[in-house]
């Protein structure tokens, strides 16, 4: 069975509108893929410090980070659920990436530049944004970052599934956006 890694960066957990969209899509994909879920809010993670950076340089990386990096490197598909924060995604997701971006696992180098080592072909990135900022707007800095990370690790195409203007819509409109975006994501998931 092919492998799916789900990265849940929905800090508001059960209140998250982003996770409401992602949950049925993850459920559907779980029937097609052997699935492992990383719930970042439940993981003891801090940004690298001088001390932990020195440990890494000395070859000591936390076992959980090695395991997660290997899971990402071996995944056929990756799904990321993360709300839109500060024009990008919550910092816990960047911290996760920082920990699992490991030379010899997610990337290596050719002597002239970095080369990705991941086998993933498609990434689905699910998000909701408070402001009226559609995907592709220059103020939206999460999708471009994920494209760049895909180029570093070799993750393939990045498909963004997004709802926006969530904080300036009526409760009814919010529900409609969640339903429509979930349907769109489930349709994409058919051929994911
Ligand atoms: C800490 C924080 C930062 C946010 N920053 C932005 C932002 O920069 N731009 C924006 O459009 N919405 C921003 N929002 C609004 C969220 O993107 C929006 O409410 C989203 O639907 C929240 O997703 P969630 O329900 O999955 O948590 C922010 C919300 C929070 C809590």
What band does 44 get if pLDDT is binned at 50, 70 and 90? confident
What band does 166 get if pLDDT is binned at 50, 70 and 90? very high
For each of the domains in the chain, give its residue range(s) and CATH number, in order of start: 3-190 (3.40.50.360)
> Quick one: what percent of the chain has pLDDT higher than 70?
100
Average pLDDT over every residue of 41-70: 95
Distance (angstroms) between ligand 1 centre and the Cα of 167 equals 8
Distance (angstroms) between ligand 1 centre and the Cα of 30 equals 27
Distance CA 52, CA 48 (A): 6
Threshold 0.95, pTM exceeds: yes
Mutate to test the pocket of ligand 1, among 7, 17, 84 (most ligand atoms within 8 A of CB): 84
Q: Is the pLDDT of residue 107 over 90?
A: yes
Q: Is 86 in the pocket of ligand 1 (CB under 6 A)?
A: yes
Q: Which atom of ligand 1 is nearest to the CA of 128?
A: 21
Mutate to test the pocket of ligand 1, among 90, 130, 142, 161 (most ligand atoms within 8 A of CB): 130
> Quick one: what percent of the chain has pLDDT higher than 90?
99
What secondary structure, in 3-state letters, does 88-131 show? ECCHHHHHHHHHHCCECCCEEECCCCEEECCCCCEEEEEEECCC
Q: Is the pLDDT of residue 188 over 90?
A: yes
Q: Is 139 in the pocket of ligand 1 (CB under 6 A)?
A: no
pLDDT tens, position by position, 74-105: 999 999 999 999 999 999 999 999 999 999 99
Of all residues in the chain, what percent are helix, strand and coil, respectively (each to 5)? 45, 20, 35
Q: What is the pLDDT of residue 143?
A: 98
pLDDT tens, position by position, 5-37: 999 999 999 999 999 999 999 999 999 999 999
What band does 53 get if pLDDT is binned at 50, 70 and 90? very high
Distance (angstroms) between ligand 1 centre and the Cα of 3 equals 30
- For residue 37, the cross-strand partners are 6
Locate 71 and state its tokens.
């899971």
Q: Is 18 in the pocket of ligand 1 (CB under 6 A)?
A: yes
CB of 83 closer than 8 Å to CB of 142: no
Q: Is 28 in the pocket of ligand 1 (CB under 6 A)?
A: no
Mutate to test the pocket of ligand 1, among 9, 14, 85 (most ligand atoms within 8 A of CB): 85
């Amino acid at each position: 069975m092919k492998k799916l890694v789900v990265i849940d960066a929905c800090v508001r957990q059960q209140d998250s509108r982003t996770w409401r969209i992602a949950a049925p899509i993850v459920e559907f994909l779980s029937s097609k893929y052997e699935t492992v879920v990383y719930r970042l809010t439940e993981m003891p993670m801090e940004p690298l410090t001088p001390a932990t950076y020195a440990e890494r340089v000395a070859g000591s990386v936390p076992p959980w980070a090695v395991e997660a990096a290997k899971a990402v490197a071996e995944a056929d598909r990756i799904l990321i659920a993360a709300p839109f924060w500060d024009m990008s995604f919550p910092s816990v997701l960047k911290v996760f990436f920082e920990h699992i971006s490991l030379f010899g696992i997610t990337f290596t180098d050719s002597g002239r530049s970095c080369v990705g080592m991941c086998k993933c072909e498609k990434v689905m990135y699910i998000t909701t944004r408070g402001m009226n900022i559609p995907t592709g707007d220059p103020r939206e800095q999460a999708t471009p970052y994920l494209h760049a990370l895909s180029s570093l690790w070799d993750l393939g195409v990045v498909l963004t599934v997004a709802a926006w203007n969530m904080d300036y819509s009526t409760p009814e409109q919010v529900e409609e956006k969640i339903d429509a975006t979930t349907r769109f994501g489930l349709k994409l998931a058919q051929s994911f």
